[in-house]
Amino acid sequence: MKDQFSLIIGGQALAGDRGTFKVLNPATEEVLAECPFASPEQVDQAVKAAEEAFKSWQYSSDDERTAALNAIADKFEAHAEELAEIITLEQGKPLDLARFEVGGAVAWTRYTASLEIPVEVIEDSDVRRAELHRKPLGVVGSITPWNWPLMIAIWHVMPAIRTGNTVVVKPSSMTPFNTLRMVELMNEVLPAGVINIVTGEGGIGSSMVKHEGIRKIVFTGSTPTGQNIMRNAADNLKRLTLELGGNDAGIVLPDADIDKLAPAIFQSAFINMGQTCAALKRLYVHDSQYDALVDKLAELARAQKVGPGLDAGVTFGPVQNRDQFELVEALVEDARRNGARIVAGGERVGDRGYFYAPTIVADITDGTRLVDEEQFGPALPVIRYSDVEDAIRRANDNPNGLGGSVWGSDIEQAKQVASRLESGTAWINNHAEVLPHCPFGGCKMSGIGTEFGLDGLLEYTQSQLLNISKG
């Protein structure tokens, strides 16, 4: 990883006006590097640079934008190992998973490049022709989290650029370096000011949200922060895409082949050490298979090799930061005090780094913090049920509604149950799979707006009707 990083504003590398701040390696709890600390004035400078670039970029052709995104994907491929190593060092995930993240970012960029922005003919009669066109909004502000630092930045930024907008991105202060490197590479392809990046701790994100020059905010993160963004974006009626918290429920039906499905259930819950918005976070299992499935999941948990992501053979890295580690620890301890059975894990691993053993918790039910709250970490509560109708009710009895899943052998029955889940996505015999061509978004308190596919792309546009009189 490079020793020094800079803000990129209007194509220029700049130091932060407020000096630097420390970024920790979660595997060692030691300082990884210093990151530039931008000022609110530099946020304003970045917005002005994006506004200036928008004057010409909005009129770029589809072919120019498509070529630019494919050239960016080429850059990412050429620097794939570098990008993956940065992800592992600052986020903690095993290197193979970081490589998967980079590969996903490349594929997502190329898919976004391939999308066509439609012109819809509403009417073509002897009287008039009415065409619905899509125009870019202006400057888009992207605020990204620490769990998938490259992938989620790609989800935010590429549709914005493909539709002719310009961007100011602010990554999490816990994982800024991969996004800084991403923007450096993009600036080798794009005109100056099309993509800008500011980094910092408290106050930088709110400066973006309140800035009148930013026409849309895309945010992935917690529900309370999303609510605050929505309040602060009201003054100039910013467009918003908010992908917020999830406490996704999975229901295992009595006919499920648990020998076949257990590995997929485990992977769905513990992907990225459980630090994924749409991971499976509470699992409802029928009485008839409860004990057997708990045992199988516990066996899979104990088989994981926990350690630093760059070490050979490691399958399970650290929790990304101390606050999240302490939350997971507190939720598991609360479950233990309330009579739950810790079947696997339930403890810190080692004496440095935020390593927590993958944890399976049984004999637990709704009303316990680990079930009711989003743990966003390596602990899965497994809840017993006797009646499917009751399982559906309990799965829906939560303020979040990002994803949900049903696991069973009778697909038609599983579809009927899945259709009753209050979630933006309902998977069958799968969970947490997001795809570039499939729209994704939450309901209830899990956010507003849609990402991915054509629906997600068009959220970065303003419709304009051309009404052509033939009279």
Helix (H) or strand (E) holding 89: helix 80-91
| Domains, the chain, with CATH or none | 7-244+446-468 (3.40.605.10), 248-435 (3.40.309.10)
Report how far residue 384's alpha carbon sits from residue 235's, in angstroms, rounded to the nearest whole number.
47
Give percent of the chain above pLDDT 70.
Answer: 100
Alpha carbon distances (Å) from 242 to 142, 218, 449: 10, 6, 6
In this prediction, residues 204-228 reach a mean pLDDT of 96
Pairing of strands 400-401, 443-444: antiparallel
Report how far residue 161's alpha carbon sits from residue 136's, in angstroms, rounded to the nearest whole number.
9
Query: Residue 79: its pLDDT value, please?
Result: 98
- Give me the DSSP letters along 50-84: HHHHHHHHTT--HHHHHHHHHHHHHHHHHTHHHHH
Helix (H) or strand (E) holding 200: none
pLDDT band, very low/low/confident/very high, at 2 (cuts 50, 70, 90): confident
Query: Residue 294: its pLDDT value, please?
Result: 98
The helices-and-strands tally (H runs, E runs) of the chain is: 15, 22
Average pLDDT, the chain: 97
- Of 27, 444, 18, 360, nearest to 198 by C-alpha is 18
Q: Which of 243, 329, 451, 459 is catalytic?
A: 243
Q: Look at residue 450 and tell me whether its pLDDT is greater than 90.
A: yes
Q: List strand residue ranges (DSSP E) for 137-261, in order.
A: 139-143, 166-170, 195-197, 214-220, 239-243, 248-252
Report how far residue 25's alpha carbon sits from residue 3's, in angstroms, rounded to the nearest whole number.
14
Could you read off the pLDDT of 27-54 as tens digits, one per residue?
999 999 999 999 999 999 999 999 999 9
Query: Residue 96: its pLDDT value, please?
Result: 98
Could you read off the pLDDT of 397-424 as tens digits, one per residue?
999 999 999 999 999 999 999 999 999 9
In this structure, the dihedral spanned by the alpha carbons of residues 68, 69, 70 and 76, taken in order and rounded to 10 degrees, is 110
In this prediction, residues 106-132 reach a mean pLDDT of 97
pTM, two decimals, is: 0.96
Q: Look at residue 224 and tell me whether its pLDDT is greater than 90.
A: yes
pLDDT band, very low/low/confident/very high, at 110 (cuts 50, 70, 90): very high
Alpha carbon distances (Å) from 467 to 128, 229, 373: 7, 36, 51
Q: Which of 35, 85, 277, 451 is catalytic?
A: 277
Pairing of strands 128-136, 461-469: antiparallel
Q: Look at residue 368 and tell me whether its pLDDT is greater than 90.
A: yes
In this prediction, residues 446-454 reach a mean pLDDT of 97
Query: Residue 369: its pLDDT value, please?
Result: 98
Single-letter amino acid, residue 350: G
Query: Residue 201: its pLDDT value, please?
Result: 87
Query: Residue 28: its pLDDT value, please?
Result: 98
Query: Residue 202: its pLDDT value, please?
Result: 82
Q: Is position 277 annotated as part of the catalytic site?
A: yes
Query: Residue 21: its pLDDT value, please?
Result: 97
Question: 71: buried, middle or exposed (CB in 10 Å: 19+, 13-18, 0-12)?
Answer: middle
Which residues neighbour 355 within 8 Å (Cβ) at sequence distance 6 or greater?
27, 306, 307, 317, 318, 319, 348, 349
In this prediction, residues 111-138 reach a mean pLDDT of 97
Report how far residue 140's alpha carbon sits from residue 162's, in angstroms, rounded to the nearest whole number.
12
Query: Residue 445: its pLDDT value, please?
Result: 97
Could you read off the pLDDT of 340-363 as tens digits, one per residue?
999 999 999 999 999 999 999 999
| Residue written as token pair 């009189």 | 469
Q: Mapping DSSP to helix (H, G, I), strand (E, B) and coil, where does residue 454 land?
A: helix
Q: Look at residue 391 and tell me whether its pLDDT is greater than 90.
A: yes
pLDDT band, very low/low/confident/very high, at 220 (cuts 50, 70, 90): very high
Could you read off the pLDDT of 150-187 as tens digits, one per residue?
999 999 999 999 999 999 999 999 999 999 999 999 99
Query: Residue 361: its pLDDT value, please?
Result: 98
In this prediction, residues 223-251 reach a mean pLDDT of 96
Could you read off the pLDDT of 48-67 as tens digits, one per residue?
999 999 999 999 999 999 99
| Assigned token pair, 54 | 């928008």
Contact 244, 447 (CB under 8 A): yes
Single-letter amino acid, residue 169: V
Contact 186, 72 (CB under 8 A): yes
Could you read off the pLDDT of 275-330 as tens digits, one per residue?
999 999 999 999 999 999 999 999 999 999 999 999 999 999 999 999 999 999 99
